[in-house]
Structure 1
Amino acid sequence: MSTKPTISFSHLGCEKNRIDTEHIIGLLAQAGYQVDANEELADYVVVNTCSFIQDAREESVRTLVELAEANKKIVIAGCMAQHFQEELLAELPEAVALVGTGDYHKIVDVMQRVEKGDRVKEVSPQPTYIADETTPRYRTTSEGVAYVRIAEGCDYRCAFCIIPHLRGNQRSRTIESIVTEAQQLADQGVKEIILISQITTNYGVDIY
């Protein structure tokens, strides 16, 4: 039986992005991929990027360029993958895959296609996915603290904000789903749970 490649991760941006990264790690680990914090030892590096403001974009670009100069095979996930799809593929031949903000749950399939030699673009035009308590997750926070996403996306169309384009319309998890995940985390020893979303005060208006 062949050994799965080793994958390292670079997390950029907000804590909502952190949760996406944690799910990506959990899904790949469950599928048998090796996870290593050392990018130099990894066969692939997944970079979960941010594209909300200019400074965040520049940080993401610097990270991608540094990895490209080190001849790493890069999987670009997150908001920049959602926002600058064609530009990234054109400018970074080291990018073996793009994974949009609503598509990270397909990461195992993406990696399997990459291993076969495909260059993969898995980016939904309108993100609709939201992970729940059944989605594998490997926490990267300290032992006693965890984030729980209660909703994703935003229905407002503010002229100054790109979030609806990057994250899609609002979609809330059910109260039952959130409570179940909180209980799972408590059973793991988590003492402090931080609820997050794009607009927390709008939680549930789309489903209740």
Structure 2
Amino acid sequence: MFNTGISEKEHDEARQGEALMLEIDAEKTVSRKLYIESYGCQMNFSDSEIVASIMLDNGFETTKDYKQADVVFINTCSIRENAEQRVRNRLKEFGAAKKSNPGMTIGVLGCMAERLKSKFLEEEKLVDVVVGPDAYRDLPNLIDQVDDGARAVNVLLSREETYADISPVRLNSNGITAFISIMRGCDNMCSFCVVPFTRGRERSRDVHSILDEARQLFAEGYKEVTLLGQNVDSYKWTDETTGEHVNFARLLELVALVDPKLRVRFSTSHPKDITDEVLYVIAKYDNICNYIHLPVQSGSSRVLDIMNRTYDRDWYMDRVNAIRRIIPNCAISTDVISGFCTETEEEHQETLSMMEFVKYDYAYMFAYSERPGTLAAKRYPDDIPEEVKKRRHTEVMNLQREHSHYRLQQQVGKEHVVLIEGLSKKSDQDFCGRNDQNAMVVFPKAGEFKPGDYVTVLAEYCTTATLIGRII
């Protein structure tokens, strides 16, 4: 789920450039084909599964070849500028295909759709439908409008929509791991982030629907679920019948109790909200993975303040100390932004010293990219020269490579319970899967084991990003 020490280009390819090329066997005769491509965060990929479900129920099947599709959707991300540029370039490719298939409908979904709204329809001239993250139920109606010769847009945000009643179609699935969206939107107004504007206010999904989805997945053979939210720690839901209040710690426990053979992960935590209660729940249940993604963004309290992160350096270090105390073997990953507005060289060094303090297992690392409409774009000058941003970003990446390798070396010589996810990319004679700390483990096939099985692997050595071992 998280890569170690990757470059900016590799990150885009791995996290933003992977296409969801869907192939679903519909039980009924269908006359129209759908193609979806997704970019960005796990939430976008999860949203595409909701979209596929809605469209399947309305007479569509999916295709791997966009040139053969009647409807092409691109589910977009607005987090970084080059993510948006990739989408624009891809739309040009779809537009070229449309010239030989005039009946093709092209739609932009997700965060970029909400942020740019009708600009796609009026200026780009490449798009027929623009739909924001809270309007996917309206897709069949919008497609009908296009069929009637109009262009269509719905980017209205909602305070209630959670899609809790929609059973996602598992796209590009290995049949072993799956995402469960537990909440939508975000109430944190980090000054660099567009999410509150593109995904709306925070709302939590009915706990019963979450548990039903987890049970159904396990019944279908899935062995691992990842609970998704922009800030899972702020999950809160009240049962109107019983009056019971369910916070994230309680939800995490309830999902773990679905079955001890169902692994549970979650993403993402916010340093201001993660509680000792959550940490003790993780420590209590063996099937809740010892892995926490805890974005720091900067090691400087002043920079954190103008980022509006609502915690300072000492608070973050206290949360890390709590994790180490309560869950000694817990892996920690993070996000780091280099070259944020007004960041001094001394403050950059504070970020490096924070990395030395934590020694993260994994990290997503970015040079700051100003996003229009954010608080930072309105208040603070993007005044760090690009060459300085790149140099600081490189220093962060180089240090993280060292720390990722160090953390893997600590796991060599130990036994790990690994969920087999499939064949190694390099050899069909090797399996791969992740251990409790989310490290990728590669090992030779043995016995009658197959994907979906748990095996105990002795890690014999490691590369800079992978543990290598054998089943014992």
Give the aligned partner of residue 121 of structure 2: 89
> In structure 1, what is the Cα distance between the partners aligned to 2:37 and 2:220?
25
Q: Which has the higher contact order (CA 8 A, sep 6+)?
A: 1
Cα RMSD after superposing both structures: 2.0
Provide, for residues 40-93 of structure 1, a one-character-per-residue CA deviation record: whole Å limited to 9, x for no partner: 111220111111122221222221122123325311111111000132112332
**Residue 110 (1) aligns with residue 142 (2):** yes
2:34 is the counterpart of 1:7: yes
Q: Please, which of 182, 189, 194 is the counterpart of residue 157 of structure 1?
A: 189
Identity %: 28
Name the residue aligned to 1:66.
Answer: 93
Where structure 2 has 5 or more consecutive residues not aligned to the other structure, the ranges are: 1-28, 99-103, 240-244, 246-472
Whichever of the two has the greater Rg, that structure is: 2
- C-alpha spacing 1:73/1:112, structure 2 compared with 1 (3 Å): closer
Question: Which amino acid is 2:36 matched to?
Answer: F
Unaligned runs of 5+ in 1: none
**2:71 counterpart of 1:44:** yes
Q: Which residue of 2 aligns with 1:139?
A: 170
What secondary structure does 1:9 align onto?
A: strand
Count of paired positions:
206
C-alpha separation in 1, matches of 2:160 and 2:193: 19
CA offsets 1:95-117 (integer angstroms, 9 cap, x no match):
11111111012212222222222
Counterpart code for 2:57: Q
- Which residue of structure 1 aligns with residue 376 of structure 2? none
Q: How far apart are 1:155 and its partner, in Å?
A: 0.9
Which letter maps to 1:18? F
Structure 1 window deviating more from structure 2 (67-76 vs 115-124): it is: 67-76
Give the secondary structure class of the aligned counterpart of 1:95: coil
Change (3 A) 1:12 1:182: same
Instruction: Give the corresponding residue for 1:55.
Output: 82
- Residue 181 (structure 1) aligned with residue 208 (structure 2): no
C-alpha spacing 1:89/1:148, structure 2 compared with 1 (3 Å): same
Cα deviations across residues 137-172 of structure 1 (Å, max 9, x unaligned)?
Answer: 211132101000111111121211111001111100
- Bigger mean CA deviation after superposition, 68-77 or 171-180: 68-77
SS for the counterpart of 1:111 is helix
Q: Is the 8 A contact 1:153 1:170 kept in 2?
A: yes
Residue 31 (structure 1) aligned to one of 58, 66, 69: 58
Consecutive aligned runs of 4 or more in structure 1 exceeding 6 Å deviation: none
> Which amino acid counterpart does residue 16 of structure 1 have in structure 2?
M
Provide the rounded CA distance (Å) in 2 between the counterparts of 1:61 and 1:13. 14
Conserved? CA contact 2:92–2:126, under 8 Å: no
Question: Counterpart of 2:346?
Answer: none
Q: Distance in 1 between matches of 2:223 and 2:30?
A: 37
Quick one: structure 1 residues 205 and 138, their matched pair in 2 at CA, closer, same or farther if it must change by over 3 Å? closer
Q: Secondary structure at the match of 1:67?
A: helix
Mapped pair 1:199 → 2:231: yes
Name the amino acid aligned to 1:137. P
Indicate if the aligned counterparts of 2:38 and 2:76 stay in contact, CA closer than 8 A: yes
**Residue in structure 2 matched with residue 167 of structure 1 by the alignment:** 199
Separation of aligned partners in 2, 1:83 and 1:127 = 17
C-alpha contact 1:73 1:94 (8 A) present in aligned 2:
no
| 120 and 183 in structure 1: CA distance in 2 versus 1, 3 angstrom threshold | same
2:394 corresponds to which residue?
A: none
